[in-house]
Amino acid sequence: MYGILAWPPDSLRDWMEELQKIHGVQGYGPPHLNLRQPFKWRWSQEALRRGVEGILRGHAPFRIKLGDWRTFNSGVVYLRAYGGSAFDRLHKALEPLAPPEAEIEGPSYIPHFTLALGLSPEEAEALVHELPPPPIGSFTVKEVALVRDEDGGDLVELARFPLGLPKNE
C-alpha cells in the first residue's frame, strides 16, 4: 500500500506521540495527514513517483487549521484538520492515481490526524473528552511525502516533493 501525506511540524508530532503514550493508544504509523486515502499501485515505484511529482507541480503551499478531537464510528480518535479549497484541489488531483482501499474519498473525505485506532465506540468517545486542544492552531504544508506501508504499520518514506515552484524558476 502507498500513501501521499503531509508530516506535521515536529512540535505537533511530538505532542501527539506523547498523548499516545499517556493513553496507551496508537494510530497507523507516526502522526500524519493523508492527502488521499492509501492505495495499491500496479506499476513501478518510479512511475508512481513521477506521477505524484507531475500532479503536485503547480500546487502551492497551503495552510492547515487544526480543529477539535472527534471520533469515527469504527473506534478511531482523530484531530480534525481543515485545509480549505487548496487542500480540496490537491486531494481531488491525487484521487485518480488509483482506487482507495475500501475508504471514503471525494467530497466526503475528512482531513485528520489519527491518534487512536481499534477502540470501542464508547472508549473512543471517552478519550475524546480527556484530550487537550492542540499546542498549535495551524501550520503550512510546504512539502508532500510519498510513503509505502511495510509490515503492518511502518511507513517508509520514498520521496518528498516541495510544493510551489523552486525560487530559481
Could you state, in chain order, the average pLDDT of each consecutive group of 10 residues for the chain (169 residues)? Answer: 96 98 95 92 95 94 97 94 94 86 67 96 97 98 95 87 72
Residue 168: predicted pLDDT: 47
Q: Cell numbers for 90, please give them.
A: 490537491
Fold of 2-162: Cyclic Phosphodiesterase; Chain: A, (3.90.1140)
Residue 104: predicted pLDDT: 62
Q: Are 60 and 29 in contact, with CB atoms under 8 Å apart?
A: no
Residue 103: predicted pLDDT: 59
Q: How far apart are CA 11 and CA 164, in angstroms?
A: 24
Q: How far apart are CA 68 and CA 20, in angstroms?
A: 16
Question: Between the CA of residue 25 and those of 16, 76, 116, 136, 155, what are the distances in Å?
Answer: 10, 10, 5, 22, 18
Q: Cell numbers for 153, please give them.
A: 504499520
Residue 151: predicted pLDDT: 74
- What phi and psi values does residue 160 have, to the nearest 5 degrees? -125, 140
Neighbours of 62 (CB within 10 A): 19
